[in-house]
Chain A
Amino acid sequence: MNFSLNEMEATAKRATRGAGYSWGQAEEASKAARWLCAQGMDGAGVLAGLLEQGLASDSAAHRPGQIDRLWLSERALCPLSAGPLLSDAAHLLKTGPVEMRNVAAPALLLPFACHAARLLKEVLTIEIDGAQMMTDGERLVAPDSLPDTVHKVVVTNGGALTTPRKQNARACPDPQDWCVLNRFAHRTYAPATEESRLLGAGSGLSDND
């Protein structure tokens, strides 16, 4: 079954929040998953895989300690911390590369590299364990899939878009991944009570008038 990108985004946002991330990160993860799907990559699968790792339960261990050129974390670096930071600190790339080590779900860095490229109005090259990807803030050069975890990511200002990926208007998640996202999303829903049924939405009046 295919889904609208809006459905992909809405589900990804709830899922990310349900997995314990902040609302701001959930917003960013959902736009990131949507963007990957629009690039014809498996945004749902990448996000589902990350959420199942449960990094949000100890988020401080999965983010860089400070903003410099080498981003290290105690345990696997979470792309929902490193990605937003890459966009927030895009100006660093004007004067040199940024390097990250031991990164989970590195495909999720690409949408944030895209933000950074747009902010800098430059093409950025993202080298993931030696494989090079490029974005100019709109389009992306990347393989269909990336490893679940990588040793080293280097983001550099500069590069050329050779054969950008074709844009997609729909998301085609693997049903299992879609289930995983919905399972996490479900954690954000308050169990219904009779009180909420009557009061929460507005009224228990009949419409027969």
Chain B
Amino acid sequence: MDTQAQTQIERRDPATVMRLSRLGSLHQCRLSFMRQLTRRMASENWSFTRPVFDIDTNGVGRAVYTAQGPDRAYSLVAFAHDLPPEQRSDRVIADAWDATFALFDGIPTGADIERLSQNVPLQEAGRVSESELSLSRANRSVRLWDHVVEALAAGHQPDVEQIYQVGYLMRTTAVYGSGKFGAADREKVADRSETQAPFQVEMLSVFLTRTFVRDLVQHMANVKGCGQAATLDPEIARWLGIGNSTGLGMAPFIVNHPVLFNNWIMVREEAIARVRSVEVASTTEISQFRDVFERSQLSMSWWRSEHPIQIGKLEELNADLHLIAEYLRHNDLRGSRPWNRVMSWSETKLSEEGQEFLASLILEPYGDLVDGLTSCMADSCTQAFVIDGTMLIGKVCDLIRETYAWALDLDWEARENCARAWYVSEEKLEPRMGERFDEPISDYEQPLAPARDAAAVYDALQGWDDTKPVAEFLLHHPEHRHTIRRIQMTTSAPYGEIRDNTIGSKVLPIDMLRAKLSFFGATHFDPRSDRWVRICMYSGAPYPEELTSENADLWVYPQEPT
């Protein structure tokens, strides 16, 4: 072996990683926000209580779940409602839900709960305060809910096959944080160790919501069973996650937060590069990897979708799983740089789904190399917003060629390349995407086509002196300020920009949704259209009272139930 070959494997090229089809194939990994939270709560020995559970026989009432960390407490304040079926809608335009929630910063008083009871059930139409960190709601999966209530009420356990296939009793249809509807700004919690990483507030809210839902279904079964009801088997309860139904509202997020999104992707790429650079895998590491690979296949077998795109991707992924299994039969992962070898092999043999699945999986044995990177996933660099007006125009053009070369050759006037436009609807103030040439929306277009805009800047800069500072150009062309800002961000955020057309006739917003949701730690992506996806969160996770350092991390990989 060449003993000089100690150089680190480089991170993958943004031009490869940042394609939409690949971003739309990302899988959860040990950097995921849910797993960061459960690891932390276990290692810090958080305690959990349910000080209020006041739900009537119709399933209407309120409950409070408090999570106590080393320095602070957080409480989920939950309201259960009796929702007529015709009002049950996944859509953000709904105005009534089966359950509504706020995550309170601390332990709420009776007056706080009363105040929240007047507002939280109204969701967007209500107001919360700087004492609240998030606002959310959830609807039942009617089929599974009814089945579980009826089974338990009749004194027996629900059918596990149905639980595996649906995955959750309720799905959230929005979890609002960061100052929405009057809640506290992100800045309030950004410096706390437990909420420094992205979306920890939202992940905690969902973690506690799952417990509430389990308790509520048991309560309803007890009511119906008149003393004969069975108690839900904890082994079965563990496979109940919380669903989430996400539409276009989330897609612009990764375009609107290029530095934050860069940090997520760059940290994952750094983690992959570190593991690929491992010279020799130990016996323990190899067996850990083989173990999670085996376990992940069970989870994959529960992954269902009726959407043709995802059906095709699942077929490819299942074929890839066979190829990986075969590779592992013929390769003992001994020898030099085993993870680099398997990754290089995957690049020529597997689909993007399979490649990204494998890339996430090789991180599992290497918590010591990977987990410390989680502290780099937040965006605390407010200065990146400020344009460097002294940058020379020649340098700006260089940066455009580096990141947007593919976009400079595209005919942005051609209908298929600008067929879509993103806009905000008057009705719900939510982002939507429409057909530019069929709907009256282009006057309202949101700046969500950075590549097109970069190509426009590049054209506009032709004829300008390369040695002039860009401030001179910007004085006369304020319409290009937002794009110059993004272009300059690419110097410190190379993974911040999607390398694909976000307004073309073939764009799939579900790819953007999946990229974001995979970092949450979501599984079982089930697109319901090209712009709307259902997922599962926390399936397999321990409940608060079960949480230990042993089960806090790998819960995402199920073990065959005994």
Contacts from A to B (Cβ < 8 Å): 1-7, 14, 21-25, 27-28, 31, 59, 63-64, 66-67, 81, 84-85, 87-91, 115, 118-119, 169-170, 186, 188-193, 195-197, 199-203, 205-209
Contacts and interface: CB of A to CB of B under 8 A. Distances in A.
A1 B89 CA distance: 31
A207 B89 contact: yes
B182 A7 contact: yes
B92 A201 contact: yes
Contact of A21 (B181, B427, B433, B478): B478
A22 B447 CA distance: 10
Contact of A23 (B183, B470, B482, B531): B482
Contacts of A205: 90, 528
B319 interface: no
B429 A22 contact: no
B479 interface: yes
Contacts, number: 180
B443 to A, nearest CB: 8
A196 B389 contact: no
Contacts of A87: 386-387, 389
Contacts of A67: 471-472, 475
Contacts of B390: 91
B178 interface: yes
B441 A190 contact: yes
Given A22-B478, A169-B130, A202-B531, A207 B245 contact: yes
Interface centre among A7, A199, A200, A202 (most CB of B within 10 A): A202
B483 to A, nearest CB: 7
B475 A85 contact: yes
A201 B432 contact: yes
Contact of A203 (B91, B127, B139, B478): B91
Interface string B181-204: 111111110000000000000000
Contact of A199 (B94, B127, B139, B434): B434
B81 interface: no
A6 B186 contact: yes
A84 B481 contact: yes
Given A87-B387, A89-B469, A189-B444, 10 more contacts: A4-B183, A27-B485, A88-B475, A91-B389, A190-B423, A195-B439, A199-B434, A200-B432, A201-B248, A201-B432
Contact of B482 (A27, A89, A170, A193): A27
Interface centre among A7, A23, A190 (most CB of B within 10 A): A190
Nearest to A78: B478
Nearest to B528: A203
A25 B477 CA distance: 11
Contact of A24 (B181, B483, B529): B483
27 contacts: A1-B127, A5-B185, A6-B185, A7-B181, A14-B424, A22-B480, A23-B447, A24-B483, A24-B485, A25-B478, A25-B481, A27-B485, A67-B475, A84-B474, A84-B478, A85-B389, A90-B389, A170-B130, A190-B444, A191-B440, A192-B427, A196-B434, A197-B93, A200-B248, A201-B249, A202-B248, A207-B173
